[in-house]
Amino acid sequence: MTKLQSALHRFGDKGLLSTPEEAGTTLLQRIAVSRFFKDFGCTSKVRTPWLDFFRLLPDFYQKPSGDDSPIVHIILAVSLAYLIRDGSYQPCEIMARMEYCEAINKINAHLQRHTQVPINELLASISLMGFFESLMPSSSTIEDLASGNRKYFTHLRGAIAMVRMIEMQSFDAPNFDPRVVNIVYFQTVVTCIRNRIRPPLSIFIWDGQTGSPLPRNPGAPIMHLMYQAACWQADIDTAMANASVDPCQAKARIIEMLATLRNADMRISQWESTLPPHLVFYVRDSTYQGDEYPLSRNHALLNLPGAPFKLYTFQSCWSTTPRVLAFVIRAVLHRNVVKCCTWMMAQDQSQAQDWLFQSSISRNIIIDMIEQISCSVNSLLMDSFIMPYHVSEQPQQNHDHEHNI
């Protein structure tokens, strides 16, 4: 029996609610919401673009506007889905989907009858629905992915439509919180990058929000570069598609885009180098015994000879976001450099070797980025998966760091 199941059993035995089933359901919801709030920085005091939206959720959950609001149901649905994804308690999938369906019903009721649900709660609910689908995809979503369709959720389309309605009004409205728009922009940009779609929302509206924390936050540059990367991908595809009409203009455009992509890569590297270490991780000894990190939580491999003795620890999954975003966008930029160079090889046979060389540079950058991550895994597995040429090429590594992950 897991700790969670034991807690549910004890709670039911105390008779604090009418039935053990009711007691178990209530405690399960509390545990799920508490873990979700903790892991996603909902109670964090640090203002960042990737945390500020989640810091709204505790107030929404504790003080919803009324019975017509879907916010409590969708927060419960996401929390339960996250608990399932974490592997803690699989049987609560039905509960999660019931809460999700109830949230959808209340949003549909609002759209049909114009119930008095504040725009902040409504937009936050729709954004969380997209998050729920990523944690617990529906059968229709899985079928769409299997058939090769673009993963562009209906919920996100609805959120974009609402943001456009807000744009036509005033962002200075007293009851409007720009953080709910920030998360819609973020979800939109990520989806557009994945599917090579031009973002349907204007970056100028995003940057121009009065009172928005984004422009004054260290995360603003990477957010702006993500938006630009989505636009650049669309520009590249458009130029290549129009090559049959005007090949000279298409080649000139692709060469221009190559310079833009490389310049953006330099900007990301510079931005990442300015991140304070505490924003990313802190180091702890793997043999440290404490209440928060008891030795029993260490992976069994850490007890093997030669295992790392230092661990990079994150207070929550959202603490890793700055480096993760930088890594992903750099990989996207260099993937597009490879795409452009490969296309230019076919268009300019006389310079094919030069374009092949430029393409190989970006390929090697992506490989190096991945190896920087995987080398820690290799060291943990006692180098069993390191290829011989890697060993011969890097014999003089700094031994002070060879046991760190």
- What pLDDT does 307 receive? 65
Positive or negative CA dihedral for 376, 298, 384, 308?
Answer: positive
- What pLDDT does 79 receive? 94
Tell me the C-alpha to C-alpha distance, in Å, between residue 112 and each of 107, 116, 138.
9, 12, 24
- What pLDDT does 398 receive? 38
- What pLDDT does 387 receive? 39
- What pLDDT does 240 receive? 96
What does the alpha-carbon distance between residue 331 and residue 226 come to, in Å, rounded to a whole number?
12
- What pLDDT does 337 receive? 97
**Mean pLDDT of each 10-residue bin along the chain, 405 residues long:** 50 47 74 88 71 87 91 95 76 89 92 83 91 77 49 75 74 66 87 91 66 51 88 96 92 96 94 71 62 54 66 59 84 96 92 93 90 58 40 38 30
Tell me the C-alpha to C-alpha distance, in Å, between residue 385 and each of 382, 388, 403.
8, 9, 16
User: Domain residue spans in the chain?
Assistant: 1-217, 219-405
Contact (Cβ atoms closer than 8 angstroms) between residue 23 and residue 11: yes
- What pLDDT does 12 receive? 45
- What pLDDT does 297 receive? 55
Contact (Cβ atoms closer than 8 angstroms) between residue 147 and residue 139: no
- What pLDDT does 386 receive? 39
